[in-house]
Amino acid sequence: MPQTKFQKLIFALITVIITVPCFVFYCSSYESGGFNAEVIKNSLIYIPIELILAYLCAVFIGSPLALKFALKAVDPKENSKILVQTAIVSATAAIMCPLMSFLATILYDGIIAVGINGEPFNNFIINFIPYWLQRIVLNFPFALLSQLFFVQPLTRTIFNAIFKNEEDEVENTNSEKELVGIN
């Protein structure tokens, strides 16, 4: 798992690169009534914007808060590694889903609907809270389950492949210290 600030940034980047297209396709499919080539084509314009927003939110808000909340619920010294990871992933989904749903509501129902499609601004203001809450309700089950069973396992696999040598060096150094009795 990430040990340094650089590794944490890379881990967040890998997570966002996997998560954002899944969510854009999921949300677009839901709104259009199914997943097809048209959904992919229409979604491609939004992926770069959401990648940037999601990465910034994950690095500056989601990851730090999720770690604090998760470590209040579980203790890495007393609980199993999988329980700690599950708590962190669950806390991350609980923070990032409402946050990204908030930004998506502004982007899709505000900027795009009002600015590009010409819908009345009053509709956006009046309906902002209901639109946002609806997005959270629709996205949270997908966010939690996809993070637990697909995104995070794949992210960890990719991350471990990239940083395998560095982890081995840290592990060997720690093992050598334990053998010598240095902590």
Q: Where are the domains of the chain?
A: 5-180
Which residue in 166, 154, 165 sits closest to 17, CA to CA?
154
pLDDT tens-digit map of 21-76: 999 999 999 888 999 999 999 889 899 999 999 999 999 999 999 999 999 999 99
Residue with the larger pLDDT of the pair 174 and 50: 50
CA distance 73 to 88: 10
Task: Spell out the alpha helix ranges (H) of 44-120.
Answer: 47-57, 63-73, 81-104
Q: What is the pLDDT of residue 113?
A: 72
Q: What is the sign, positive or negative, of the torsion defined by CA atoms of 156, 161, 166, 168? A: positive
pLDDT tens-digit map of 104-163: 999 888 877 777 777 888 888 888 999 999 999 999 999 999 999 999 999 999 999 999
CA 116 from chain center: how many Å? Answer: 28
